[in-house]
Amino acid sequence: MIRRNGVRATAIALALAVTASASPAEATGPVRLRQVVESLSGPDGAPGALVEFHDRHGSVTATGGVADIRTGAPVDPRSRFRIGSLTKPFVATVVLQLVGEGRVDLDAPVERYLPGVVHGADNDGREITVRQLLQHTSGLPDVLDYMSPLEILKDPLRHWEPRELLDIALPHQREFKPGDGWGYSNTNYLVAGMIIESVTGHPYGKEIRRRVIGPLGLHDTFVPTDAPGIPGPHPHGYVRPESEPVDITRLNPTVAGAGGGMISSASDLDRFMSALLRGRLLKPAQMREMLATRPTGRTSHSEYGLGLEWIPGKNSSTCKDGFWGHDGDMLGFSVRTGATTDGRQATVMVNLNPGGGPTLDKAMEEALPAALCGP
């Protein structure tokens, strides 16, 4: 059982740094971000936290806590980290680019691109469309429901093939008939990554590099395949299986694959979200498809498009039309990013996952709206 205990005193000493590339629109900006990182890296929080905010006036970055609980080194504002399920918007973007090129049909069955791959129990690729994969309406069981973090910790450097992960998930019954519900499933994006490879002849990571990372100049963003390290400045990532945190920084990201294997930075994630919502990556028709949502049933009243989630603004004057974003949880890191259509972006990162406990969970839930939609 994963439970939360306080990190030792040397690990929670708040080391707050605020940097700005231009004068922020309001003097309250740095104060707001300080409050966010303090909520994330205090006595009941993660060892370290980072928050970055961008708007037309410039950017502000705040860090708190430590990047390494052994040395007490502070979190670098330029940090790179594992982004988990924030890989999904990148994958969805590539699939939608292939749709725009006439190489993939959103409403074609998965079977057309991956004959015989999606089967087992009552899961059937002939009944599931590409759109349903990207929107989490396929009903496919989530592979993470049948894999324990403790199991991965036993051999964190092991290579995983996508089909091995599908073989864990697909023998289990589907959650609902395709199209009849909404249910978040990492399995959907493992399959989407395989479709990219089937159609292009290249691994999903190569297509992301060619179509997104390169054109946008995302120098901190990587699809590392088997490489276990995080290049450049980065915090250590921790899990808490018992009372003491365990360093899980070195990890083979194939365990997450197209569902969550990428590395990036706050600046790159904000740049990606800005470019995506401004129409730099998709044709208008595919952009409309991406932003066509259906309710998730979550308590946040959010809605999910194709690889992006819409979160209501909760009466905020600065996010009155809500914002687009995604969560990203990977062993060692928890990340949230969001952007408004009027040019505001924010990203939040902590270097503990899982094992943060309810206090950190609540702080993470509130951090992104506070950073993005504050005054």
* Catalytic residue set: 85
**Tell me, what DSSP letter sits at residue 109?**
B
- Give the Cα separation of 354 and 245 in Å (integer): 10
The CA–CA distances, whole Å, from 59 to 21, 215, 217, 313, 345 equal 5, 22, 18, 21, 9
**Tell me, what DSSP letter sits at residue 210?**
I
3-class state of residue 56 by DSSP: coil
Q: Are 364 and 336 in contact (CB under 8 A)?
A: yes
- Residues in CB range of 349: below 8 A, 6 or more apart: 49, 50, 51, 79, 81, 266, 333, 334, 335, 336
**Tell me, what DSSP letter sits at residue 71?**
T
The CA–CA distances, whole Å, from 293 to 189, 229, 288, 301, 304 equal 17, 36, 10, 12, 5
- Give the Cα separation of 97 and 151 in Å (integer): 36
- State the amino acid at position 177 in one-letter form: K
Q: Are 69 and 236 in contact (CB under 8 A)?
A: yes
- Residues in CB range of 235: below 8 A, 6 or more apart: 47, 48, 50, 66, 67, 68, 75, 76, 79, 81, 351
Residue 187: HSE in the Cβ half-sphere, 13 Å Cα cutoff: 33
- State the amino acid at position 33 in one-letter form: L
Q: Are 280 and 186 in contact (CB under 8 A)?
A: no
